[in-house]
């Protein structure tokens, strides 16, 4: 087995191994050669080569999302690590452990006009849990640039001892910083940045390690709720007749079934679940906009909860945010071991534990179910909405709306469903999904970049097959996601192509003008067909309900290549169909 000669590279690789970081996504470069040598020559690591750093970082995010453990990305110096930033921000707001390992120039080569050099120190400052800026290893020579702090020593023995002491201090510092950074990623679930300066030569290798870095274990703090807070919550809960639980992005199987059943038995509680919540119960309320959007002011006031309990990640539905900001609950509690966003401007309690732990403590102390018709009233509304929803589907022409209906109901059981942002996730929110599906969407920053790369990373490590549903702009924006050699044959992509940013037609503005078409909707005539040929995907297409149903019949069958189905919809009517929907279901 061979190792990089540089002690700092050995230290980084060995500590990643000790911390059980197995998946390493490497973007080719020269300055990161010592790390590449270290990771790729150790069979412990699963290494992936992805040229585009933006795609590489989202690919890593998809892996970390599925495995719930840190995944590392490795890049060269300069603008390379800036291309990681969209995924770093997504990981920061989605609580996903991503470890950025950026190679850097030595300090004396920064700010002098040297190529491929930028100010890398703390570059992710506003969207990172921890930034470790490591120190350059000392060389054997004295008086070298960057080592000006070493005096000229005539006595060779004194010189050697001084160098040895300084290098020991540098090694200790670097070990501590690397340990702290990785422990932050594990404990606090988010991105960390380790910036690593290397001096040339970069490609030298040795057969024995020269360092044995110290491993500092991550400490864990047991989550708890103060007795006074628990008692206060119980008193409010036991007296309230209208309680709403709103669930955002949530991992599958995160809440024990018995607690869901317990909540479902309480007539004073309604549970609103987003598609990304991965929570299912016959008495819960999915398709939030379907319930909220048609309400008049009197009905909205009747829906206003006394207590709002939220958990999970960020909320997709704009309508529920608008509603709860206008009709604020008396009490708002958010359950999360890390953060609590005051999304509705009325946050009262941040309960710093996992939802499952809280419910296990809280629900067993609830002494009685208060009499209430809160859930029954809104269940009746829900049933009416579902009936009208079905009637509307039978009355409308082929459009984005009918496409999502067909596509979502056709996904095989036990698939992972990745959904891109913008219109794709908003349409998906309007339909009921099989509870066997696991649903993911990059809602941390809600950007269109990286959805395909994330889905590919997910598909690579997941034991379940993955399908991505995406819009045309999101797919084209992230087309470099397909530029890798790791995509499994059972991976599927569905592109809904309405030849532009169709969601902007729903928003207020002057439609069907040259200005709108060019700068908002961004009309185009591009398709995915030639990308599929280039990247080895089987390509299918549909442009009406009959051809869509025909293509779906074979789309999920086993093949020799991953598959992409592109569905062309008429942009001129999509916005009208969607806007009329909320009027129809009143």
User: What is the mean pLDDT for each group of 10 consecutive residues in the chain (586 residues)?
Assistant: 97 98 97 98 98 98 98 97 98 98 94 90 97 90 46 54 78 97 97 97 97 92 87 96 98 95 96 97 96 96 98 96 98 96 97 96 91 97 97 97 98 98 96 97 95 98 98 96 97 94 63 70 90 98 98 97 97 91 94
**Rounded CA separation 503/55 (Å):** 24
Q: What per-residue confidence (pLDDT) applies to 553?
A: 97
- Positive or negative CA dihedral for 580, 582, 585, 586? negative
Question: H/E element holding 37?
Answer: helix 33-40
- The beta-strand segments (E) located in 416-497 are 416-419, 438-440, 466-471, 492-497
Closest CA to 362 of 277, 269, 275: 269
Q: What per-residue confidence (pLDDT) applies to 219?
A: 84
**Rounded CA separation 578/187 (Å):** 43
β-strand 307-311 against 243-247: which pairing, if any?
parallel
**Rounded CA separation 68/20 (Å):** 12
Q: What per-residue confidence (pLDDT) applies to 495?
A: 98
Token pair for residue 423? 């219109």
Q: What per-residue confidence (pLDDT) applies to 224?
A: 84
**Rounded CA separation 565/306 (Å):** 46
Q: Which 3 state secondary structure label does DSSP give 147?
A: coil
**121-155 in b/e burial notation, b at 16+ Cβ within 10 A?**
eebbeebbbbbbebbbbbeeebeeeebeebeeeee
**Rounded CA separation 339/310 (Å):** 12
- DSSP alpha helix (H) spans, 367-478: 374-395, 400-410, 423-428, 451-461, 472-477
Q: Which 3 state secondary structure label does DSSP give 389?
A: helix
- Positive or negative CA dihedral for 69, 74, 77, 81? negative
**198-211 in b/e burial notation, b at 16+ Cβ within 10 A?**
bbeebeeeeeebeb
- Positive or negative CA dihedral for 317, 320, 323, 328? negative
Residues 42, 93: contact at Cβ < 8 Å? no
Closest CA to 330 of 244, 429, 430, 268: 244
- Using the structure block, give the residue that is written with the tokens 């995010």: 61
Terminal-residue alpha carbon distance, the chain: 69
Interhelix angle for 400-410 vs 571-584, to 10°? 80
**Rounded CA separation 566/571 (Å):** 15
β-strand 492-497 against 563-568: which pairing, if any?
parallel
β-strand 416-419 against 46-49: which pairing, if any?
unpaired
Closest CA to 272 of 253, 286, 283: 286
Q: How many CA atoms lie within 13 A of 405 on its CB side?
A: 15
What domains, with CATH codes, occur in the chain?
3-206 (3.40.50.970), 227-379 (3.40.50.1220), 396-584 (3.40.50.970)
Length of the chain in residues, anyone?
Answer: 586
> How far, rounded to the nearest angstrom, does the alpha carbon of residue 388 sit from its chain's CA centroid?
34
Contacts 24+ apart (CB under 8 A), 581-585: 581/392, 581/401, 581/430, 582/289, 582/293, 582/294, 583/294, 584/388, 584/391, 584/392, 584/395, 585/290, 585/294, 585/384, 585/385, 585/388, 585/389, 585/392
**Rounded CA separation 382/526 (Å):** 40
- The beta-strand segments (E) located in 202-335 are 205-206, 243-247, 269-273, 307-311, 331-335
Which residues fall within 8 angstroms of residue 394, CB to CB, at 6 or more apart?
Answer: none
């Amino acid at each position: 087995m061979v190792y990089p000669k540089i002690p700092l590279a050995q230290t980084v690789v060995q500590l990643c191994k000790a911390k059980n970081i197995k998946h390493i996504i490497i973007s080719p470069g020269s300055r990161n050669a010592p790390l590449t040598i270290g990771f790729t020559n150790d069979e412990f690591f699963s290494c992936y080569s992805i040229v585009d750093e933006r795609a590489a970082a989202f690919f890593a995010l998809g892996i970390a999302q599925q495995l719930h453990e840190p995944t590392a990305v490795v890049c060269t110096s300069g603008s390379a690590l800036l291309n990681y930033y969209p995924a770093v921000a997504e990981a920061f707001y989605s609580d996903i452990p991503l470890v950025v390992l950026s190679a850097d120039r030595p300090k004396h080569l920064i700010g002098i006009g040297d190529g491929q050099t930028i100010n890398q120190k703390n570059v992710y400052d506003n969207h990172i849990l921890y930034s470790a800026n490591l120190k350059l290893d000392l060389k054997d020579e004295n008086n070298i640039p960057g080592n000006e702090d070493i005096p000229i020593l005539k006595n060779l023995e004194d010189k050697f001892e001084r160098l040895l002491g300084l290098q020991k201090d540098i090694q200790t510092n670097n070990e501590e910083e690397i340990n702290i950074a990785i422990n932050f990623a594990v404990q606090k679930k988010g991105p960390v940045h380790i910036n690593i300066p290397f001096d040339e030569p970069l490609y030298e290798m040795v057969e024995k390690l020269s360092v044995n870095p110290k491993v500092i274990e991550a400490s864990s703090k047991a989550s708890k709720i103060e007795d006074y807070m628990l008692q206060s919550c119980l008193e409010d809960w036991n007296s309230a007749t209208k309680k709403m639980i709103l669930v955002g992005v949530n991992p599958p199987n995160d809440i024990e079934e018995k607690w869901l059943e317990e909540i479902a038995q309480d007539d004073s509680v309604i549970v609103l679940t987003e598609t990304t919540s991965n929570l299912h119960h016959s008495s819960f309320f999915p398709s939030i906009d379907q319930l909220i959007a048609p309400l008049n002011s009197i009905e909205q006031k009747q829906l206003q909860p006394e207590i709002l309990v939220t958990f999970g990640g960020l909320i997709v539905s704009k309508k529920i945010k608008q509603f709860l900001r206008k009709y604020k609950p008396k009490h708002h509690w958010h359950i999360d071991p890390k953060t609590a966003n005051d999304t509705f401007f009325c946050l009262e309690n941040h309960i710093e534990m996992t939802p499952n732990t809280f419910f296990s403590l809280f629900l067993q102390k609830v002494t009685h179910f208060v009499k209430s018709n809160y859930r029954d009233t809104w269940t009746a509304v829900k049933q009416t909405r579902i009936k009208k929803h079905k009637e509307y589907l039978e009355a409308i022409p082929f459009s984005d709306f009918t496409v999502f209906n067909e596509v979502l109901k056709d996904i095989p059981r036990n698939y992972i469903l990745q959904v891109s942002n913008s219109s794709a996730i908003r349409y998906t929110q309007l339909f009921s999904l099989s509870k066997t599906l696991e649903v993911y969407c990059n809602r941390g920053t809600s950007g269109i970049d990286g959805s395909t790369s994330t889905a590919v990373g997910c598909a690579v490590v997941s034991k379940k097959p993955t399908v991505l549903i995406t819009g045309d702009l999101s797919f084209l924006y992230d087309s470099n996601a397909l530029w890798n050699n790791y995509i499994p044959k059972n991976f599927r992509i569905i592109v809904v192509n309405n030849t532009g940013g169709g969601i902007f037609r729903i928003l207020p503005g002057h439609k069907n003008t040259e200005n709108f078409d060019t700068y908002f909707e961004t009309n185009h005539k591009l398709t995915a067909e030639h990308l599929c040929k280039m990247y080895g995907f089987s390509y299918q297409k549909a442009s009406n309900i009959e051809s869509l149903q025909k293509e779906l019949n074979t789309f999920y069958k086993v093949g020799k290549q991953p598959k992409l189905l592109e569905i062309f919809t008429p942009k001129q009517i999509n916005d009208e169909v969607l806007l009329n929907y909320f009027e129809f279901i009143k």
